[in-house]
Structure 1
Amino acid sequence: MQTIRRMMDHMYWADDALLAGLRGHSDENGEIGRLFRHLLIAEQVWVTRLEGKSSAHLTLWEESDVASLEPLARDNEQRYKRYIEGLAEADLDRMLDYANQSGAKFRTSIRDILIHVALHGHYHRGQINSALRRQAGIPVALDHILFARLDEAE
């Protein structure tokens, strides 16, 4: 449970750091907003499923400006924290039945879903940083070790 919590804490931190790093940045072709929105909507999709609700109404790929995404990031963080707070270690291996955005049915453990959510964000934050480098030359430092060093500094 501790590792899952740590991965999720890094996810919240990385989403916040990316939001901060993107403030004032001009998204030349909309790529950054589209990728960041996808990342956050995917987080929303999964927490919605974990809460036992349908995610069919959520669209994974749409254009967005980065400034409008902060409320979604905050809401996702609160929902995940609330959900995870109610989990015991044994709950992580419980299987969850859900349908994907196309309606196909799946069954996956809560542990694997939470690991997927954390790793999916890593992938897309890397894509966003690549776009930032192409557009402005200044990616946002989001490595887990940087997050870990914050605890060491306290």
Structure 2
Amino acid sequence: MTASQGLAQLFQYKRWANQELLALGAASQGALPADDYRLFVRILNHTYVVDRIFASHLQGLPQTTYRATNTDATPELATLSDAVRASDDWYVQYVGGLDDAQLAEPVAFRFTDGDTGRMSRSEILNHLVVHGTYHRGAAGRILAAHAVQPPRDSLTTFLHRLEPDRRW
């Protein structure tokens, strides 16, 4: 498996894990106090915003949509879920079209606080996978605190559902 194939698989996993958690969040809204439900949505909105900011950087486009790493308003979960799915679909397509040389290319960008940065495409993409995993875990803890079992969204679960013959 090449580096680009491995990253493509991780973004397929990210898309699957996001949809699992978003669907559970929607089904569990009544089990959470309003403040915790809002926090659940805001955490996932933050990961979406960061994904979109870096999508602009990866394309060499000016990032003018977001002034911070979250929005002032909290979106409806259904709207966020649709937006996350579209963003994840974009990343799966984008990463699937990269070769190892493109993954090594440096990307210079400006953070929302005005500071500058430079990372390779691979580093940015790895950051987004890890960042999303971290925040899905935080959102899952909100569910668990209210007796809602978070989804089994590990990479191993994803791989074995994708390819059941891996079980022996």
Alignment CA distance shift 1:133-1:99 (3 Å): same
Aligned to 1:86: 97
- Counterpart check, 1:116 vs 2:127: yes
C-alpha contact (below 8 Å) 1:51/1:83 kept by paired residues: no
SS of alignment partner, residue 163 of structure 2 = helix
Aligned to 1:13: 16
Structure 1 residue runs of 5 or longer lacking an equivalent are none
- Point out the structure with max Rg over C-alpha: 2
Q: Which has the higher contact order (CA 8 A, sep 6+)?
A: 2
Quick one: which of 34, 37, 44 aligns to 2:45? 37
SS of alignment partner, residue 23 of structure 1 = helix
TM-score, normalization: structure 1? 0.91
Structure 2 residue runs of 5 or longer lacking an equivalent are none
C-alpha contact (below 8 Å) 1:56/1:100 kept by paired residues: no
Aligned to 1:105: 116
TM-score, normalization: structure 2? 0.84
Q: Which moved more, 1:142-151 or 1:76-85?
A: 76-85
Deviations 1:114-136 (A, max 9, x none): 00000000000000000001124
AA at the equivalent of 2:47: L
Q: Which moved more, 1:107-116 or 1:72-81?
A: 72-81
Q: Number of paired residues?
A: 154
Aligned to 2:151: 140
Q: How far 1:152 moved relative to its partner? A: 2.5
C-alpha contact (below 8 Å) 1:54/1:99 kept by paired residues: no
Q: Which moved more, 1:21-30 or 1:122-131?
A: 21-30
Aligned to 2:69: 60
Quick one: which of 76, 81, 95 aligns to 2:87? 76
Percent identity (aligned)? 23
AA at the equivalent of 2:75: S
Q: How far 1:68 moved relative to its partner? A: 1.9
Runs of 4+ that moved beyond 4 A:
none
Q: How far 1:13 moved relative to its partner? A: 0.7
Q: How far 1:12 moved relative to its partner? A: 0.7
Deviations 1:73-126 (A, max 9, x none): 122123213322331111111000110111211111001000000000000000
SS of alignment partner, residue 118 of structure 2 = strand
C-alpha contact (below 8 Å) 1:39/1:120 kept by paired residues: yes
Q: How far 1:16 moved relative to its partner? A: 1.1
Q: Quote the RMSD (CA, aligned, Å).
A: 1.6
